[in-house]
Amino acid sequence: GAVVSQHPSWVICKSGTSVKIECRSLDFQATTMFWYRQFPKQSLMLMATSNEGSKATYEQGVEKDKFLINHASLTLSTLTVTSAHPEDSSFYICSARNVGAGDAFFGQGTRLTVV
Amino acid sequence: GENVEQHPSTLSVQEGDSAVIKCTYSDSASNYFPWYKQELGKGPQLIIDIRSNVGEKKDQRIAVTLNKTAKHFSLHITETQPEDSAVYFCAASNAGGTSYGKLTFGQGTILTVHP
């Protein structure tokens, strides 16, 4: 299948700082990328849909000023957690939709720990 | 919106036995149903998917069945092996327009295969 690379795989940051997570489609173009959040032993919850060249669409209850999404190219989307707090600690996962085939493939996830 | 229910939440089998995980969905417009395997600390990996114009699909030891009328779909793993142990998620999507790739996930099933 297609390859989606997410970086970093884990990050520890201090409360109040911002953290940027990158999601790259390595061998295909992705007009749409999705950002999910997953708490321990729970399912994936969609946070937002990122469309190349336009503003992201956020799911209900997700603060767009807290979770900034930028999809500047067909192969890269970034999620910035601003002014992070311990309750933002979670596993963040992106997926990218392959324009050609239409299927969505997942990155390996980023474990964020805010101390 | 779409709602996906997945059962059981945990499943324990002996090596060589079969495992079945079932999901139901609520939105009759959903037409794409992937299954993902997630290992600890990693992103979900697509293992098999089925589209609404097909009733069954098989790939070696893994098969998926779909009953559109009842809005049910199931994952079948035969001849289970210890390396099949993981969390399995079903998902549903309406593969149309910009929503393609936007998945609604089930709650997940922790599968444990005992040697």
Going by pLDDT thresholds of 50, 70 and 90, the confidence category of residue A114 is very high
For chain A, list residues whose CB is within 8 angstroms of any CB belonging to chain B. Answer: 1, 4, 6, 32, 34, 42-46, 49, 51, 93, 95-97, 102-109, 111
Cis peptide before B34 (omega within 30 of 0): no
Q: Determine the Cα–Cα distance for residues A26 and B31; give it in Å rounded to an integer.
A: 27
Query: In degrees rounded to 5, what are phi and psi of residue B97?
Result: 60, -145
Contact (CB, 8 A) for A16 and A82 = no
Cis peptide before A40 (omega within 30 of 0): no
A41 CB-near residues (< 8 Å, 6+ apart): none
pLDDT (0 to 100) of residue A2: 74
Helical H segments across B39-81, by residue range: none
The two tokens of residue B49 are 């998917």
Going by pLDDT thresholds of 50, 70 and 90, the confidence category of residue B17 is very high
The two tokens of residue B11 are 């499943």
pLDDT (0 to 100) of residue A61: 94
pLDDT at A29 > cutoff 90: no
Average pLDDT over every residue of B95-105: 70
Q: Determine the Cα–Cα distance for residues B64 and B78; give it in Å rounded to an integer.
A: 11
Mutate to test the interface with B, among A77, A103, A112 (most CBs of B within 10 A): A103
pLDDT (0 to 100) of residue B86: 97
For chain B, list residues whose CB is within 8 angstroms of any CB belonging to chain A. Answer: 34, 36, 41-46, 49, 89, 95, 98, 100-108
Query: In degrees rounded to 5, what are phi and psi of residue A86?
Result: -50, -35
pLDDT (0 to 100) of residue B52: 87
Going by pLDDT thresholds of 50, 70 and 90, the confidence category of residue B115 is very high
pLDDT at B97 > cutoff 60: no
Candidate from A1, A32, A34 with C-beta closest to B46:
A1
Q: Determine the Cα–Cα distance for residues B13 and B85; give it in Å rounded to an integer.
A: 10
Average pLDDT over every residue of B38-60: 92
Chain B's closest residue to A44, CA to CA, is B105
Relative to beta strand A57-58, strand A67-73 is: unpaired
Q: Cα angle vertex A53, ends A47, A58, to 5°?
A: 20
Q: Determine the Cα–Cα distance for residues A16 and A14; give it in Å rounded to an integer.
A: 6
Candidate from A1, A32, A45 with C-beta closest to B101:
A32
